[in-house]
Amino acid sequence: MKKFINISDIKDYKSLVNETIDLKNNPNKFNNIGKNKVLGLIFFNPSLRTRLSTQKAALQLGMKTLNMNFINEGWQIEFEDHVIMSGNKAEHVKEAAKVISQYCDIIGIRAFASLNNRVNDHKDIVLNSFVDHSTVPVLNMESSIAHPLQALADSITIEENKKSLKPKVVLTWAPHPKALPHAVANSFINMSKRNDYELVITNPEGYNLNPEITKGIKVLHDQKEAFKNADFIYAKNWSSYDNYGKILINDDSWMINEDKMNLTNNAQFMHCLPVRRNVVVSDSVIDSNNSLIIQQADNRTYAAQIILKKLINNEK
C-alpha cells in the first residue's frame, strides 16, 4: 500500500479486518518494523482520538512521531497553482510537502471540509495536494470526504460484537448545533459495502448524502421504521449535502433515546466521538451496557497500526 486515502485503497477488506483483530490480541507483534522511521502527524483541525491513537499505533511499531498543529503553529499554506502569494499565505504546499517528506517516512494529514463549496470539498484539495507533492506515503486522518481509519475501527467493532452473520446496521442522522462534514458517514457506508451487513440509512428529508455513495443502499426518512430489528445503531450528524453545509433542523426529534432503542433487536449503540450528550444521544443510551463507543475508540489504535504496517512494508 503506497497511500491510505480511502477504503478503496484496501484490496482484501475481510482479511485486513481479521489481521487487525489478530494484531489487537498481540499489539507488540511487529514492534520493530518501524524502527528508525518517523511518522509526521499534520493537523489542520482539532483531534483527540486520531492524534493519540495514531501516535500510539506508531509507537507500538517502534516508530517515532512528529506532530504539528497547522491551525495555530504553522504558516498558512497556499494550495492553488500559479497564484501571486501577496496575501496571508506564506508557504506553498509544493514546498511544505517536500520539506516534511524529508523529515518523515509517512505523513498523516487531517483536513476537514470547508462546507462552503461542495465542488472544492469533493476535490479534497489539502489531502490530495500532499499526496501529489509528498515523496513519502500519505495517511488520511480525516479529510473533506473520507475518514477511513474510523471506518476500519468501526468494522472491527461490529465484527467483535455481531451476533449474526449478516447484522442489520442502521446509520442514523442525529441532531447537532454545528454544521458537520460528511466524511465519517461516507466512509462508514463505503466500509459497509465491503462487509456482509444489511445497511439501512435513515435521515430527515433534505439530509440525503452524496447519491454516488448511497447508490444501492436503502434510505428511509422514518427513523423509527428504520430502527425496527436493528442490531447496530450508528449515530452521526451531517449537514445537508443538497443545500450544502446548511443546518435544516434545530429540534431534538431525531435524537437517539431509549424509546427508539427499544424498537431495535436489542441493538448496540455506536458513535465515532466526540459526541454531544443529550443532543445527539441521551445519557441513558450512551451509558448503557449496549454502548460500544469506548471500544470503537480503542480500535482506532489497531486500525492505524495495521495501516501503518502496510504503508511501511508497502504490503497490499
Interacting residue ranges for ligand CP, rule: CB under 6 A: 47-50, 142, 150, 272-274
Q: DSSP letters of 5-23?
A: -SGGG-SSHHHHHHHHHHH
Minimum gap (Å) between residue 298 Cβ and ligand CP: 12
Q: Please enumerate, as own/partner, the contacts of 115-123 that have beta carbons within 8 Å and a separation of 24 or more.
A: 115/179, 115/181, 115/239, 115/244, 115/245, 116/244, 116/245, 117/244, 118/241, 118/244, 118/245, 121/145, 121/181
Residue pair 200/220 in contact (Cβ under 8 Å)? The answer is yes
Minimum gap (Å) between residue 152 Cβ and ligand CP: 12
The residue (of 136 and 151) whose beta carbon lies closer to ligand CP is: 151
Nearest residue to ligand CP, by Cβ distance, number only: 50
Which helix (H) or strand (E) element contains residue 212?
helix 211-214
Minimum gap (Å) between residue 229 Cβ and ligand CP: 27
Residue pair 103/40 in contact (Cβ under 8 Å)? The answer is yes
The residue (of 233 and 264) whose beta carbon lies closer to ligand CP is: 233
The residue (of 30 and 145) whose beta carbon lies closer to ligand CP is: 145
- Tell me the one-letter amino acid at 68: M
Cα distance between residue 30 and residue 62, in whole Å:
8
Return the C-alpha torsion angle 42, 25, 28, 66, nearest 10.
Answer: 10
Minimum gap (Å) between residue 174 Cβ and ligand CP: 15
The residue (of 31 and 67) whose beta carbon lies closer to ligand CP is: 67
The residue (of 101 and 299) whose beta carbon lies closer to ligand CP is: 299
- Grid cell listed for 105: 517516512
Minimum gap (Å) between residue 184 Cβ and ligand CP: 7
The residue (of 109 and 272) whose beta carbon lies closer to ligand CP is: 272
Minimum gap (Å) between residue 147 Cβ and ligand CP: 6
Cα distance between residue 299 and residue 286, in whole Å:
18
Minimum gap (Å) between residue 297 Cβ and ligand CP: 7
26-to-13, 160, 278 alpha-carbon distances in Å: 20, 16, 37
